[in-house]
């Protein structure tokens, strides 16, 4: 690919990763709001530890290995496999809030990318997750597996840090330190996500405390986030 083609691919991926993308990601804290309410996360160090743990055990062991397989399914035009992994990913969301978030962002992203020539709807994948639409868009842009997984992981990380800045609250400099620190771990997390076999028991492992926080957040009296 020419330099201009590579640059355009990078621009498309940066667009997908942008917090300005109108998919509603800012509505969701993925249990972080309840963790802060209960005092489990109360400062920069605790926020960094919480986010790093989720990056390792949820994004790295569930989202990214499945995202890789979704990308491969679209590369082979194997829509049945894309549907299967979409259902697998959704089944791994432990609470109604986490499932609703995934479906909401998936539908929103499908509308956004359709405006730019990526007709996801033609595949008729019922209840599409954010990841399956993300994989389809990245395939359309010609992104590699490593580029796709890295972009997805960074997008998640930035949204979690933005939520922590609002909720703890943290200063902007503290948020940047967390982005820098946890961001350093993403290449290794992406590497490990490429190593799992389809039947590896490591795929699908989640985080118990996040599941508890998300479940209890559903009835939290005062809250800023939907999950």
Question: Would you kindly state where each structural domain of the chain is located, as residue ranges?
Answer: 31-195
In the predicted model, is pLDDT for residue 181 greater than 70?
Answer: yes
Number of CB atoms found within 10 A of residue 200's CB: 12
Residue 201 scores a pLDDT above 90: no
33-64 pLDDT per residue, tens: 999 999 999 999 999 999 999 999 999 999 99
In the prediction, which pLDDT does 1 show? 56
Q: What angle do CA 168, 174, 175 make, to 5 degrees?
A: 75
Mean local confidence (pLDDT), 65-85: 96
Q: Give the whole-number percent of the chain exceeding pLDDT 70.
A: 98
pLDDT at 2 over 70: no
Q: How many CB atoms lie within 10 A of CB 127?
A: 14
Question: Cα(104)–Cα(98) distance, rounded to whole angstroms?
Answer: 10
Helix, strand, or coil (residue 160): helix
Residue 126's pLDDT band (boundaries 50, 70, 90)? Answer: confident
**Fold designation for 31-195:** Urease accessory protein UreF (1.10.4190)
Rounded CA gap, 65 and 202, in Å?
A: 10
| Mean local confidence (pLDDT), 68-89 | 96
Mean per-residue pLDDT, 134-163: 97
| Average pLDDT across the chain, whole number | 94
């Amino acid at each position: 690919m020419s330099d201009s083609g590579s640059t355009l691919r990078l621009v498309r991926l940066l667009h997908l990763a942008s917090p300005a993308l109108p998919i509603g990601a800012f509505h969701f804290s993925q249990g972080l709001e309840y963790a802060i309410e209960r005092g489990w996360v109360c400062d920069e160090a605790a926020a960094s530890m919480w986010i790093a743990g989720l990056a390792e055990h949820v994004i790295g062991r569930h989202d990214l290995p499945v995202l890789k397989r979704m990308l491969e399914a679209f590369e082979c035009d194997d829509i049945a496999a894309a549907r299967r992994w979409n259902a697998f990913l959704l089944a791994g969301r432990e609470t109604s809030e986490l499932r609703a978030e995934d479906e909401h962002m998936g539908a929103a992203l499908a509308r956004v990318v359709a405006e730019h020539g990526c007709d996801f709807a033609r595949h008729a994948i019922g209840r599409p997750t954010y990841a399956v639409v993300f994989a389809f868009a990245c395939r359309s842009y010609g992104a590699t597996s490593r580029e796709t997984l890295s972009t997805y992981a960074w997008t998640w990380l930035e949204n979690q840090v933005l939520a922590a800045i609002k909720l703890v609250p943290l200063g902007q400099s503290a948020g940047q330190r967390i982005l820098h620190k946890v961001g350093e771990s993403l290449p290794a997390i992406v590497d490990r996500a490429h190593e799992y076999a389809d039947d590896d028991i490591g795929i699908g492992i989640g985080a118990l405390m996040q599941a508890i926080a998300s479940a209890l957040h559903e009835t939290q009296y005062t809250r800023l986030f939907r999950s």
